[in-house]
C-alpha cells in the first residue's frame, strides 16, 4: 500500500501523462488546531477531480470551486494562500478552534519533475523537492533523515521518501500485517529473519527481507531517532540479540512481543548484556496499547497505535499500555 501523499503524486503524474491540467496543493504552515499536518498534499484536476486532503473537506471544496471557475492557466505560477485568518473564515472552512492553514498552490506540468521524483522514490531515496515560488522551477536533491518542509527566500522545500524506518524481527503472520500497514504510514519496512523456513513464503511487495543476524543488522542500520524496532519471534536467541543493540541506540521505539512474565524474564536476561536501568526502561513490553487484541491484525493495530503515540510525543499518562492492563485469569498467556 502507498501512503496517501505518495498516492497523490502518482495520480497527479498519471493525470499529466493523460493530458490533463492539474495543480498540487501542499500544507506549508498551520496555526492553532489543524485537521491535517504540515506536508499534507492534495491534487486538483482541471475538471475538479481531487485526490488527497489538506483540511478534511471544507477547504477542498473552495479549491475545487476556484479551479472550475478559473481553470488552471499554463503560465500560472506557484503561490501561497491562507485560510482561516478571521473567525468568519474559520467558521466557513470548518477549521477547528479558529485555526489557520497556509497552502502552497503549484500548477503542474512537464517541468515539475514528478516522474523523476517517483522513479527515485521507487529506488528508496530520501529526497528534497525544491520549488522556486517565483519562477516555478523545480530541482531534486538528496535529503538527510532530519530534513523538514520549509519555506525560505521564495523557495519551498518538501521532503519525500522513507523518512521513518521500522525494523521487524521475525517474518511470521503478525509481521506481515504490521509491515503492510506501516508501509502505508510512510515507514520504510525492513524484516529480519535468519530462519529459512520463515523467509520462504515471504512475498510482501514494498518491504525488504534480510537474513542476517538481528544484532548485526541493528549495528549496520545505525539506528537513529526516526527508527523503530519491533521483535516478534518469541525466540530469545533472535529477539534479545536485536533488543540489546536497539536499546543502546537512538531509536524512538523499541518493543518486544510476549506476556508480562516473559518480558520480566527478558529484562533479567538483558541485564547480563550490561544494559543500564534507563536503557531497559525504554523497552515496550508487553507491546502495544491495550485494546483487548487477540488476532494478528488486532495486535498489529495495537503496536502501531503505541508507536504512533510515542512518535507524536503523547504523554505516557494518557496511554493504557498492555503492561498496565488487567491480568488474565490464566497464568502466562502470551498476548502481546
Domains of the chain: 4-160 (no CATH), 164-324 (3.40.50.720)
**Comparing 86-90, 168-172, 282-286, which segment has the lowest mean pLDDT?**
86-90
* Separation between Cα atoms, residue 78 and residue 114, nearest integer Å: 15
| pLDDT at 328 exceeding the cut of 90 | no
| pLDDT at 323 exceeding the cut of 70 | no
- Over residues 154-165, the mean pLDDT reads 88
Q: Is 56 helix (H, G, I), strand (E, B) or coil?
A: coil
Which of the listed ranges 189-193, 224-228, 332-336 does the model predict with the highest average pLDDT? Answer: 189-193
Which of the listed ranges 4-8, 159-163, 175-179 does the model predict with the highest average pLDDT? Answer: 175-179
42 neighbors 66 (Cβ within 8 angstroms): no
Bridge partner list, 106: 24
Q: What are phi and psi of 323, to 5 degrees?
A: -65, -20
90 neighbors 99 (Cβ within 8 angstroms): yes
pLDDT tens readout for residues 78-93: 999 998 756 666 666 6
Quote the cell numbers at residue 283. 523497552
pLDDT band at 119 (very low <50, low <70, confident <90, very high): very high
Amino acid at each position: 500500500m502507498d501512503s496517501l501523499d505518495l498516492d497523490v503524486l502518482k495520480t497527479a503524474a498519471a493525470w499529466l501523462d493523460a493530458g490533463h491540467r492539474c495543480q498540487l496543493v501542499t500544507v506549508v504552515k498551520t496555526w492553532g488546531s489543524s485537521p491535517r499536518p504540515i506536508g499534507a498534499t492534495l491534487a486538483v484536476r482541471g475538471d475538479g477531480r481531487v485526490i488527497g486532503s489538506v483540511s478534511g473537506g471544507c477547504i477542498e471544496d473552495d479549491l475545487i470551486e476556484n479551479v472550475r471557475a478559473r481553470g488552471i492557466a499554463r503560465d500560472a505560477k506557484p503561490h501561497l494562500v491562507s485560510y482561516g485568518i478571521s473567525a468568519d473564515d474559520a467558521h466557513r472552512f470548518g477549521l477547528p478552534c479558529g485555526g489557520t492553514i497556509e497552502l502552497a498552490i503549484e500548477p503542474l506540468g512537464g517541468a515539475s519533475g514528478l516522474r523523476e521524483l517517483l522513479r527515485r522514490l521507487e529506488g528508496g531515496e530520501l529526497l528534497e523537492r525544491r520549488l522556486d515560488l517565483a519562477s516555478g522551477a523545480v530541482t531534486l536533491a538528496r535529503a538527510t533523515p532530519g530534513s523538514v518542509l520549509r519555506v525560505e527566500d521564495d523557495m519551498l522545500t518538501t521532503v519525500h521518501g522513507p523518512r521513518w524506518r521500522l525494523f521487524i524481527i521475525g517474518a511470521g503472520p503478525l509481521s506481515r500485517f504490521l509491515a503492510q500497514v506501516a508501509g502505508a504510514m510512510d515507514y520504510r519496512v525492513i524484516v529480519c529473519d535468519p530462519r529459512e523456513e520463515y523467509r520462504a513464503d515471504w512475498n510482501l511487495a514494498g518491504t525488504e527481507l534480510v537474513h542476517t543476524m538481528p544484532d548485526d543488522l541493528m549495528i549496520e542500520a545505525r539506528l537513529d531517532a526516526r527508527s523503530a524496532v519491533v521483535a516478534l519471534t518469541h525466540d530469545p536467541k533472535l529477539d534479545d540479540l536485536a533488543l540489546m543493540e536497539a536499546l543502546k541506540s537512538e531509536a524512538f521505539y523499541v518493543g518486544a512481543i510476549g506476556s508480562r512474565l516473559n518480558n520480566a524474564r527478558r529484562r533479567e536476561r538483558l541485564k547480563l548484556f550490561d544494559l543500564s536501568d534507563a536503557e531497559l526502561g525504554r523497552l515496550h513490553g508487553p507491546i502495544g496499547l491495550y485494546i483487548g487484541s487477540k488476532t494478528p491484525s488486532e495486535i498489529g493495530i495495537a503496536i502501531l497505535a503505541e508507536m504512533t503515540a510515542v512518535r507524536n510525543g503523547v504523554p505516557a499518562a494518557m496511554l493504557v499500555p498492555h503492561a498496565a492492563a488487567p491480568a488474565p485469569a490464566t497464568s502466562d498467556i502470551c498476548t502481546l
